[in-house]
Amino acid sequence: MTSEIVVRHRFIVDDYHRMAEAGILGEDDRVELIEGEIVEMGPIGRRHRACLDKMVALFANRLAGRAIVRIQGPVRLSHFSEPQPDLVLLRPRADYYASLMLDRTT
């Protein structure tokens, strides 16, 4: 019996973005970067979508003007992780974070 050595390459967020820019990862690919690994996300079912829609309506109504409710957008947590959570509550900014990718590393 032979043993195989598995070598993994741990990607950083910049690598992940370059793969998207080069077309290796498509815009419709349901993937996220977790601890350096590109992980495929599961499909969003009807119940999941309905729950998310309900949460968005609740938070948008109750936090109007006090928070930005973002759904399924990337959040950079480190140099090796950029998940896409279902829902994020952000501090309000005039540009809605257009000039700055949401980045928890700074």
Segment 61-92, tens digit of pLDDT: 999 999 999 998 898 999 999 999 999 999 99
Q: What is the pLDDT of residue 100?
A: 57
Q: What is the pLDDT of residue 106?
A: 40
Residue 13, Cβ density class (10 Å: 0-12 exposed, 13-18 middle, ≥19 buried): buried
Strand partners, 90: 68
Considering the chain, what is the average pLDDT of its residues?
A: 89
Q: In this predicted model, which residue has the larger pLDDT, 18 or 44?
A: 18
Longest dimension (CA), the chain: 64
pLDDT at position 101 over 90: no
